[in-house]
Amino acid sequence: MPVAQNYIVIRPIEGSAIDITVARNTTSEITSQKSFAALQSSILNAYGLASPTAPVIRCRNATQTSVVLEWDPIELATADLRSLSLYRNGAKAGVIPQDKGIQATKVSGLAVDTEYTFHLVMRTSAGQYSSEKLAVKTHKMTDLSGITVTPGVLPPPLRESLTGAVDRIGGKIVENVRIDTTHFVCTEGRGPQWEKAQEMNIPIVRPEWVEGCEREGRIVGVRGYYLNADPRLRQVGQSVGMQQQQQQQQSQRPQQPQRTESQRTVPLQERQQQPPTPLTSQPLSSTLPPPSPSERPSSNSEDSRPPPSVPEKDHPAQGRPSADGTEESEEGEEGDEVASTRKEEHGDLGVSSSEDEKAEGAQTPAGAGSFDDVKL
């Protein structure tokens, strides 16, 4: 390929002519093209291939009322971070500052034995990126695996016993105060770790607190276990072994058979349908024969008692005087006694004196007089 030539005529001032020849420099063109291609490749690799990655969140520790969350370092590639927010159950819980390179946070004030979901939302100059949702459930009061203890100033025997007690309840011991430290255990309030625990508002308790949790089998309050607390404020209950022994004894006791619903209700319904049993004995009227028409009660009677009889000492032994001065026969005497007995038995029926007079008239001779005519 021929090289093109261009001519430029320059006329000098004195009238002489000069010819200048310009030629294409292919070597320089090739070099500049290679340099430009390398620049484009570097831009593509830096800004076209790499992009921010979504954060990865996980749970470091969980207790009865708090959760400690952590995540990997944020990968922004060439983008700029604008905000990093934490969401709880779909609602924004707070913004995490990134000027100090924080990679963990603690969420407190949660409910006991409750499940929550958390996720991070990262906003950058290249777009918005969200993490996967993490489900975390807070512990029950009897779950002691979330206790993380940092020991402070302790005598060697107490430190050994503290280590054994923490291992038995399933907790952890860390030498330095961290964000997931739940309790700082010591007998003297001094040292840099003690100061850091105070700055982070971590409960500072005595070793007896761990022993109390082990004895009761659950989280106990820290109020009575502070360094300057009154030991009488400690609520000491039964140990776990005693509680299990009591439960075994109750399970070994013979259980009474439980009645079904029908067995409990049917007898009650039957008792409700049955008439109430009278408290008194059977009435006398139901056992005696019905009274004769002459003995039926009358509402006009004022006195149902029979007339007074004549004393026996005023009568001869063979009989009593009648209204006309004669003696009544033994048969009539017996009839009067039967009539008076029946009247006494039916005293509550209200037999009238007129009816009694009729009954006596049927047994007395026709010529007998009234009771007033009897001469004693």
pLDDT category, 189, cuts 50, 70, 90? very high
Compute, in degrees rounded to 10, the torsion defined by CA atoms 326, 329, 334, 337: 0
User: To 10 degrees, what angle do helices 330-345 and 353-363 make?
Assistant: 160
pLDDT category, 83, cuts 50, 70, 90? very high
Give residue limits of the domains in the chain: 57-137, 148-244, 301-352
Buried b (16+ CB within 10 A) or exposed e, 76-115: beebeeeebebbbeeeeeeebeeeeeeeebbbeebeeeee
pLDDT of residue 365: 45
Superfamily of domain covering 57-137: Immunoglobulins (2.60.40.10)
The stretch 48-72 carries a mean pLDDT of: 92
Average pLDDT of the chain is 74
pLDDT category, 332, cuts 50, 70, 90? very low
Examine the pLDDT at 98 and tell me if it is beyond 70. Answer: yes
pLDDT of residue 321: 46
pLDDT category, 232, cuts 50, 70, 90? confident
More confident residue, 134 or 265: 134
**What pTM was estimated for this model as a whole?**
0.54
pLDDT of residue 36: 93
pLDDT of residue 253: 62
Quick one: tokens of 339?
């009539």
Examine the pLDDT at 261 and tell me if it is beyond 80. Answer: no
Which of 3.40.50.800, 3.40.50.720, 3.10.105.10, 3.40.50.10190 would CATH assign to domain 148-244?
3.40.50.10190
More confident residue, 212 or 4: 212
More confident residue, 324 or 81: 81
